[in-house]
Amino acid sequence: MDSLIILQHSPVYTLGRRGDVHNFLFSQNRETEGLLKRGGGAAQSAENPANMGIGRAGGSDFHHIYHSIIHANPDYSESSDASLLFHPSNSALLLRVDRGGDVTFHGPGQVTCYPILDLSGPGYKKDLHWYLASVEDVVIETLGEFGLRGERDPRGTGVWVGGRKIAQVGIGCSGWVTKHGFAVNVKKSCMPYFGEIVPCGIDEKEGGVVCLEDVIGEELDIATVDEAIRRSFTKVFGVEMQT
């Protein structure tokens, strides 16, 4: 069954396959590289998910887990996708993950989305370039609902507004089933965490990152953005949500 997981993480920094540990700014005065290790993956659990079905006419079912909060479990199980590194000073968990890209942050104040799609199924394409562009289109469509023009940028994947990155995209795929996904910076409360890293390898001199609340100049509710993402996702991928 295809799935879309939309959630807010507890604070976590992730390092992609091509990530540079020196983009963790808090590593400059710590023995960071000695602490990095590969090994058991961090087991995670979702608290009190509410479920919503989505389907494509004549196609496969689609499942949406609404507003789950993901917490790292202190008991680590074996996994190839994520391995525990260490805890920085702000208590955010730090993980190495099996996705493209560099260093990023996920946490409260962001909407993080994990599409799990079988690209060999009806209505999709077995083409990762198409899939990546479609994910970015979901974000661009979402920003349009708030009167913003989202743009791609040659510096990397994701979506920018006014030269600053507002959404991070990092995908993975195994057997044409997608994993990982994208995150939209919504609330000002998530921004201080980015000060501990060079997000996606892009520093402030190159524009840095921004959140929706800063761009539109007013407070936003996470649920409002969640709903806009769901509408945009159904439009871009041609699926239907079912309660």
Structure tokens at 179: 């994993």
Strands (E) in the chain, as ranges, are: 2-9, 12-15, 41-47, 50-55, 61-77, 82-84, 93-97, 103-106, 110-116, 151-153, 156-161, 164-174, 177-185, 240-242
Interatomic CA distance for residues 156 and 230, integer angstroms: 24
Identify the top-confidence range among 19-23, 48-52, 53-57.
19-23
- pLDDT at residue 235 greater than cutoff 90: yes
Kindly report, residue by residue over 198-219, the tens digit of the pLDDT. 655 566 555 588 999 999 999 9
200 is catalytic: yes
| Residue 19 or residue 31, greater confidence | 19
Residue of 113, 190, 200, 211 marked active site: 200
Decide which of 3.30.930.10, 3.10.20.30, 3.40.50.300, 1.20.210.10 is the CATH code for 2-242. 3.30.930.10
pLDDT band at 60 (very low <50, low <70, confident <90, very high): very low
Q: Which of helix, strand or coil describes residue 232?
A: helix
Joined tokens for residue 47: 């608290």
Provide the CB-side half-sphere exposure for 65 (13 A, CA): 19
∠ CA 44-10-214, nearest 5°, is 145
- Domain locations along the chain: 2-242
Which residues have a Cβ under 8 Å from the Cβ of 84 and sit 6 or more positions away? 37, 39, 40, 41, 42, 76, 93, 94, 95
Report the run of H or E that residue 96 belongs to, with start and end: strand 93-97
Position 77 scores a pLDDT of: 34
pLDDT at 24: 63
Q: What is the pLDDT of residues 96-116, one digit of tens each?
A: 766 666 677 888 999 999 999
